[in-house]
Amino acid sequence: MATFKTIYKCSRCGATSYQRVIERAQNGALLPTGQYRCTGCRNVFATIRAWWQPRPAPALQTNSRFG
């Protein structure tokens, strides 16, 4: 049996799946919000790319007293 690895996984917890965020509209209908929730850490992301793309490293700040 073949095993497959995916590069598409949560950048925070490593889970390999997400769900669309669904909310109830004023008329009672359940509608997607356009956001996505990780099935592992349950964080909500604005886009699928934000879910899998690694967060950028913080910029290093130089100390002007010594530089």
Confidence of residue 31 (pLDDT cuts 50, 70, 90): very high
Task: Kindly give, in sequence order, each residue whose CB lies less than 8 Å from that of residue 50, ignoring residues fewer than 6 positions away.
Answer: none
Residues 67, 60: Cα–Cα separation, whole Å: 13
Domain assignments of the chain as residue spans, ordered by start = 18-50
pLDDT tens string 32-49? 999 999 999 999 999 999
Confidence of residue 6 (pLDDT cuts 50, 70, 90): confident
